Amino acid sequence: MMYIKTIIPRLAAAAMAFVALVATAQHGPQPRLDTIELTAGMHVIRAEVAQTPAQQSIGMMYRKEMGANEGMLFANAQAEVRCFWMRNTLIPLSIAFIADDGSIVNIADMQPQSDASHCSAKPVRFALEMRQGWFARRGIQAGFRLRGAPFRP
């Protein structure tokens, strides 16, 4: 009985923190995140790195602009099938799901302000969002290998 009395307040506090996080995400874009440099052949990408659940849940929401070679890399500790949607995202994006060695598993184009789900074809730890068509305009498709610090040789 004592366990229930201590766990319920903790669960309530966690639920309130989650609601506060969601409410924050609903009001505007998150501040710019730390960036890393990735390369796709001769193309250099400046990718903000979303690592925490809070950073990843907000992602590119409410942003009105994005540089030509800027993106957002979602980095996770464990490989899982990853799914993304575009609620409250104003910019059309393409997403590349990326294996640990930097090779692209699959790419999907995503429409702004849509709840349609776009998932990786297999478990991955990484996903990279770029302006829609960025990969296609450069001839980058599944199997292409990106280079950068997070990817293992």
Helix (H, G, I), strand (E, B) or coil at 20: helix
Q: What gap in Å lies between CA 53 and CA 67, rounded to an integer?
A: 24
- Is pLDDT of 22 > 90? no
Average pLDDT of the chain, as a whole number:
88
Select from 67, 72, 146, 83 the least CA-distant residue to 118.
83
In the structure, what pLDDT confidence band is assigned to residue 19 with cuts at 50, 70 and 90?
A: very low
Classify residue 55 as left (phi > 0), alpha (psi -120 to 50) or beta: alpha
Give the pLDDT mean for 63-90.
97
One-letter identity of residue 94: S
Task: Read off the pLDDT band of 136 (50, 70, 90).
Answer: very high
Provide the token pair at 45. 């990408």
pLDDT at 101: 98
Mean pLDDT in residue range 133-137 = 98
Q: Residues 44-63: what's their mean pLDDT?
A: 97
Confidence of residue 26 (pLDDT cuts 50, 70, 90): low
- Alpha carbons 116 and 110: distance in angstroms, whole number: 8
pTM score: 0.82
CA distance 56 to 22: 12
Model confidence at 28: pLDDT above 80: yes
Residue 121 is given by DSSP the state S
CA distance 110 to 131: 10
1-15, 85-99, 132-146: the lowest-pLDDT one: 1-15
Which among 35, 129, 142 has a CA at the least distance from the CA of 99? 142
Q: What is the rounded CA–CA span in Å between residue 63 and residue 78? A: 28
pLDDT of residue 3: 45
What domains sit in the chain, N to C, each tagged with a CATH number? 31-137 (2.60.120.1140)
